[in-house]
């Protein structure tokens, strides 16, 4: 919310490139702030074991309980977020603001308040994602979220910007591509991040609106 007030609100009417560059700057600033709190100059911290690291087999496939928790939490949060956005008064105000901020203002919507709520909600969901990341990988460093953030953006574009189910589907597609590349391609583990972005390029080339996005007609 503080980042929205200080870094984004002054750029509300600026060209789209300005907020994008600001987002990168804010991300780097947050990483460096967190790094200052690492005790004794350590670069890696351990995350407490909340979920059992035991595994079980289904049809010869080994599955970790941490992965089950991650998928279950993701599905639950997706359903909760979609219910909030589509079924509540504030959620509808968020949709209206994202579609046309000026018209939303004319309809009596406090767009500044709505945008702050969106930032707070996004930060809360990112916090949950960080906990899930910690549960799965145990060892954490202050820039562990950088690649994850880029892939989250990629998943949103892949599924269709503004489509919650699309973002979830995009994340699953990227995960499957990385897993299959790691298993079956030469040096797949070293190139798994590359293949995720190759899929993104292909989707943007063949279907720019994303997998579940809708083609929006431009009115003249």
Q: What is the pLDDT of residue 218?
A: 47
Please state the φ and ψ torsions of residue 36, each to the nearest 5 degrees. Answer: -65, -20
pLDDT of the residue at 219: 47
For range 30-52, the mean pLDDT: 78
pLDDT band, very low/low/confident/very high, at 96 (cuts 50, 70, 90): very high
For residue 34, what pLDDT is reported? Answer: 83
Round to whole Å and give the CA distance between 135 and 120: 23
Note the pLDDT of residue 38.
75
pLDDT tens digits for 21-40?
898 888 888 888 888 877 76
pLDDT in tens, 110-125: 999 999 999 999 889 9
- C-alpha span between 140 and 42 (Å, rounded): 11
The most confident of 50-54, 101-105, 131-135, 194-198, by mean pLDDT: 101-105
- Extract long-range pairs of 86-91: CB within 8 Å, 24+ residues apart: 90/114, 90/117
For 28, residues 6+ apart whose C-beta sits below 8 A from its C-beta are none
At residue 94 the predicted structure's pLDDT band, cuts being 50, 70 and 90, is very high
- What pLDDT is stored for residue 140 in this prediction? 80
pLDDT above 70 for 214: no
| More confident position, 97 or 59 | 97
The answer to whether residue 204 scores a pLDDT higher than 90 is no
Tokens for 163? 């489509």
**Mean pLDDT estimate for the chain:** 84
Report the pLDDT averaged over residues 134-162.
82
* pTM reported for the whole predicted model: 0.79
Express as a percent the part of the chain with pLDDT over 70. Answer: 95
């Amino acid at each position: 919310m503080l980042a929205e007030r200080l870094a984004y609100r002054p750029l509300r009417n600026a060209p789209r490139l300005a907020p994008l560059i600001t987002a990168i700057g804010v991300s780097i600033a947050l990483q460096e702030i967190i790094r200052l709190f690492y005790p004794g100059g350590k670069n890696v911290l351990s995350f407490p074991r909340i979920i059992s690291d035991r595994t079980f087999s289904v049809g010869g496939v080994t599955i970790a309980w941490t992965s089950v928790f991650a998928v279950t939490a993701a599905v639950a949060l997706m359903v909760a977020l979609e219910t909030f956005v589509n079924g509540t008064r504030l959620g509808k105000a968020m949709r209206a603001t994202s579609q046309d901020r000026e018209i939303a203002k004319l309809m009596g919507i406090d767009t500044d308040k709505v945008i702050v709520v969106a930032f707070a909600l996004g930060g809360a969901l990112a916090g949950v994602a960080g906990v899930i990341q910690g549960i799965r990988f145990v060892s954490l460093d202050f820039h562990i979220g950088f690649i994850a953030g880029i892939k989250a953006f990629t998943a949103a574009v892949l599924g269709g910007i503004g489509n919650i189910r699309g973002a979830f589907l995009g994340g699953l597609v990227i995960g499957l591509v990385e897993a299959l590349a790691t298993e079956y391609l030469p040096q797949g583990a070293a190139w798994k991040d590359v293949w995720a972005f190759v899929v993104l390029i292909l989707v943007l080339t063949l279907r720019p609106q994303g997998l579940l996005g809708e083609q929006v007609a431009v009115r003249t």
